[in-house]
Structure formats: C-alpha cells, structure tokens
Structure 1
Amino acid sequence: VQLGRWFDKPIGPHPKAMYQVAFLPNQFDQVVPWLMLNREGLDILVHPETGDAVADHMDHSLWLGKKLDLNIEFLRQVSSTLSN
C-alpha cells in the first residue's frame, strides 16, 4: 500500500478534504475489508486507475460510508484537455 498526500481542502473532483492511498489490484481483498472495518466514520471512495477518470470515479467506483457528490465536470475538462 502506498500512502499518499493529505489535502486540507477540496481538490479535483473531491468535495471535501481527503487523504489518498493507492494499492494494487491484488491487494484489494486485504485493503478494502480493512477499510470497511476501520474507517471510523470516514467516507471512502475506492476506484481503479484505468486511464478513464470519469468512468473510474462514476461507473467503476465503490463507496464506503456516504456517497459524496463528485465534481465530474472537473474530470471531463481534464480528460478533454489531455486528449487534445
């Protein structure tokens, strides 16, 4: 598991402060159950990194806790900028 950065304010599509953690697909069965049992009231978004940020955040995501409204328009703008 790779620990990421803490963001004190909303960033990108995320409507709240957040902490980022990355893990490999073969670690899913160990990491996600641990998060489920130890999230202590935090709302957690789990999503893959396929290269399609919109689909990763909207269609292929898993929420632990409350599902938050993401700023998907931000992801669409970034995706369109990268593809041009």
Structure 2
Amino acid sequence: MDRKTVLGQRLTSARLTKQWTKQALANQIGVSDVLIGYFERGRRWPSVPTLIALAEVLEVSTDYLLGLTSEPPSKGPPTTG
C-alpha cells in the first residue's frame, strides 16, 4: 500500500472518530472540503503546513497520518516513567 493510500485511510478514520464531515474538517484548517476528499482518496498530497494542521485538529501525530508509525493515536498526554 502506498503512502497516499495510508494517509487517506488514516485521515478518514481520524475524521470519523471526531464525527466530523469533510466540510467540518476543512473549516477547521481553512481549506476546501474538495481538497480533504482528494487527500482521503489519495489523489493529492498535503503541504507540510496543511499536514501539521490536520494532525493538530485531529489530535494525532503527523507520523501516524503518514504511516511512519502503526501506533494508533493515544488519548491524553504521554506518560513518563
């Protein structure tokens, strides 16, 4: 599976976890819902600032969205030992 497909699946999953429409997510980061759809279908790749904004509002890491880690997003701040 290529990186765009992974990004699209994880972006969709994180958006649906928040129970947001594509339009609601788009409004949060200042882009169009069409662009969100392109990301989710793997047709476009977000710019770095857009990727960061997506991760921040969806409360996941950029590494998770990019498929660099398979760890699902955690709830709450990380704990230290």
Q: Give TM-score, length-normalised by structure 1.
A: 0.26
Identify the structure with the greater helix proportion: 2
Structure with the larger strand share: 1
- Larger Rg, first or second structure (1 or 2): 1
Higher RCO, 1 vs 2 (CA within 8 Å, ≥6 residues apart): 2
Q: Give the TM-score normalised by structure 2.
A: 0.26
